[in-house]
Amino acid sequence: MKRGWILALVLLSVVVLAGCRGKEELHVLNWGEYMDEDLIAAFEEAYGVRVVYETVGSNEMMETKLKTSGVPYDIMIPSDYMIDKLSQEGLLLEIDTDLLPNLENVTFFEDALALYENEPFGAYMIPYFFGTVGIIFNTNVEGIATTLEEEGICALFNPQTPYRIGMYDSPRDAVGAALLCLEYSVNTVDAGELAEAETLLSEAAFAEFGEDNLKLEVALGNLDMALVYSGDYFDMLFIYEEEGEDITFDFYTPLHTNIWIDAFVIPTTSKNPEMAHAFINFFLDIDTAAENADYVGYTPVIVEVYDIMLEEYEYDYDHYYPQPEGHTREVYRFISNEHSNTLFEILSRIRD
């Protein structure tokens, strides 16, 4: 009898596995902690599809995965400059807005539209979230808030700093922060200006290079300040609020800094572009997008969703809107592969 039950269970497992293998697959590549996986499960159930979901820590890792892994990615969510690069290389499909009926129900912020609407790569993307680059800092450290107000983003680069500083381990962000301190464009190709930025980076006393971990290191008191994305700060803030922990960190936004926009794109590797559009359309639903924004913590690009976050979710926080009045912002551009290599080499020399 026992052998009969075992045989029945084996046969049931085979049937279940066969059913899973028979499901249509959608391959999604995203950043860590950047989409509510319960909503992904809801999409799977609604469309009878299996979403194979992977995460990475940077745009460059996303690019490498796309180009070398052999995985037929259907959806990726890179940043503006990487979308520009991949579209120039012929690696993205143009978005078919006829397959996105929920677009009719949403309004994108003008500040978001300005980042891509008149750019060639705008035809290849549907915006997801946007934000700035700034500094998360430990409010328990005496004098640190005053230092940031007086020195701005240059506080990251003081060789005699008394603070433990974390730097984002990304060529574009690290070099960009140095260029912002020097009051140069983050997109400069001037060799002299880039050399000055490298000197600034090389003389700085960074305690740690990191990515998503930097926000937690500051929150835990292991670092005093770190360069992060605005969404990193909010992600940490909401976790601490939910857990009832004392919040001993804050966010400093320079008057002039980088503004970025991340977006859905469909790579040419996609074996099911129609289902990829369905996935994007699913996350354009206002209620779904609001639930996702509450999970992610970043600033939505959809006006209706932003209003819900303020009115229903009580997200009326300083720094939540990435371009307040009186502030200026600059978006990263993809200049050339040669320029990208230059930035990579600068950071590599700093790290060595």
Residue 251 has pLDDT above 80, yes or no: yes
CATH number of the domain to which 178 belongs:
3.40.190.10
Task: Report how far residue 123's alpha carbon sits from residue 87's, in angstroms, rounded to the nearest whole number.
Answer: 9
pLDDT band at 21 (very low <50, low <70, confident <90, very high): low
In a domain, 124, yes or no: yes
Specify whether 85 is located in the same domain as 109.
Answer: yes
Q: Indicate if 170 and 108 belong to the same structural domain.
A: no
Domain with 29 in it: 2-129+260-311
Same domain for 116 and 139, yes or no, is no
Nearest-CA neighbor of 78 among 56, 94, 59?
Answer: 59
pLDDT higher than threshold 80 for residue 23: yes
Same domain, 24 and 135: no
pTM of model > 0.75: yes
Give the total number of structural domains in the chain. Answer: 2
Q: What pLDDT digit, counting tens, does each position of 80-123 carry?
A: 999 999 999 999 999 999 999 999 999 999 999 999 999 999 99
322 belongs to a structural domain:
no
> Mean pLDDT over residues 14-41, rounded?
80
Q: Over the stretch 185-210, which tens digit does the pLDDT of each residue have?
A: 999 999 999 999 999 999 999 999 99
pLDDT (0 to 100) of residue 6:
37
Q: Are 139 and 112 within one domain?
A: no
Contact 140, 214 (CB under 8 A): no
pLDDT digits (tens, 9 = 90+) for 147-171: 999 999 999 999 999 999 999 999 9
Average pLDDT value over all residues in the chain: 93
In the prediction, which pLDDT does 22 show?
66
Does 15 score more than 60 pLDDT?
Answer: no
Please give the pLDDT value at position 5: 40
Number of alpha carbons in the 13 Å side-chain half-sphere of residue 42: 12
- What pLDDT is attached to residue 19? 45
Are both 71 and 211 inside the same structural domain? no
- pLDDT of 13 over the 80 cut: no
Domain for residue 45, yes or no? yes
> Is residue 336 domain-shared with residue 192, that is, in the same domain?
yes
339 and 293 inside one domain: no
Which pLDDT value is given to residue 57? Answer: 85
pLDDT at res. 17: 42
- Residue 96 CB coordination number (10 Å): 12
Residue 117 belongs to a domain: yes
CB 328 within 8 A of CB 258: no
